[in-house]
Structure 1
């Protein structure tokens, strides 16, 4: 599989500058960071959530996990994790577990953990387990602004991966 078609179309339509990096097949975001030789704190992962208004994409560093209680409080709503079946239906052009942080390309609201803005380069899954997108912080933040992403701190570091 290559870059997800919706991802490539969205980024190209918006004139976003990016590079595609290949790496050996990975099974999770932390392994992706290792195999691609990028810091896990710079690799953005997407977690699909649901509230009463529909689906919401939470974007945070691969070294962190979503604090659902904290995020629910910030957004003043009740959140739950989307099921694998729901994610499969929403992201039909992506492999399971390789959801890119482009909610607007999939008709989804977004929230981004502000800690991603601490890094000069941001990387993220391109829709499969063998390629990642690399872009500058400025381009990534512009993309998040285009996506009307809310910016809050809701992730907690996974210390076992330190």
Structure 2
């Protein structure tokens, strides 16, 4: 499998600059940074959370962990990570563990940690374990309708 058509169509339709990176099959953002020989801080990991009855995607750097207290303060509500079963039911067309942070494709909001905004480029999941998307934070903002930046991570 390559990058799912749903993802490439989404990228092309929005007319943003991006690059598809091919690499060996990896299952974690940490392994992706080692494989691509880049800093963990520019590799994004997508988490899916539930607050109230809503689902949202949260993108943080691979060098960070989600800070649930900061996220609660940011959202004004408590949030929890969702189960893999729920992810499989709600997010179709991409591989589990390779979910790109394009919440609008699945009717979700997307929150991106502000630490990624200062990077020249960031590397995202593409929907497949063997490919990634390289994009600037500015183009990511153009790509994702309603993207919200916030501080909700902490160092590992």
Fold-level match, TM-score > 0.5? yes
Q: Does 1:149 align with 2:147?
A: yes
CA RMSD of aligned residues (A): 1.3
2:35 corresponds in structure 1 to 35
1:6 corresponds in structure 2 to 6
1:122 corresponds in structure 2 to 122
Q: Deviations over 1:57-112 (max 9, x none)?
A: 11111111111121012110121111001111222211111110111111111111
Q: 2:97 and 2:48 mapped to 1: Cα distance?
A: 10
The 3-state SS of whatever aligns with 1:33 is: helix
Structure 1: gaps of 5 or more residues: none
Q: Please, what TM-score do these two structures have when normalized by structure 2? A: 0.94
Q: Give the superposition deviation at 1:54.
A: 1.3
Structure 2: gaps of 5 or more residues: none
Q: Deviations over 1:21-72 (max 9, x none)?
A: 1111112110011112222111111100001131011111111111112101
1:82 corresponds in structure 2 to 82
Q: Does 1:107 align with 2:107?
A: yes
Q: Give the superposition deviation at 1:5.
A: 2.5
Q: Residue 103 of structure 2 contacts residue 110 of structure 2 at CA under 8 Å; is this kept in 1? A: yes
The 3-state SS of whatever aligns with 1:99 is: coil
The 3-state SS of whatever aligns with 1:98 is: coil
1:71 corresponds in structure 2 to 71
Q: 1:150 and 1:137 mapped to 2: Cα distance?
A: 12
Q: Give the superposition deviation at 1:7.
A: 1.5
2:55 corresponds in structure 1 to 55
Q: Residue 32 of structure 1 contacts residue 129 of structure 1 at CA under 8 Å; is this kept in 2? A: no
Q: Please, what TM-score do these two structures have when normalized by structure 1? A: 0.90
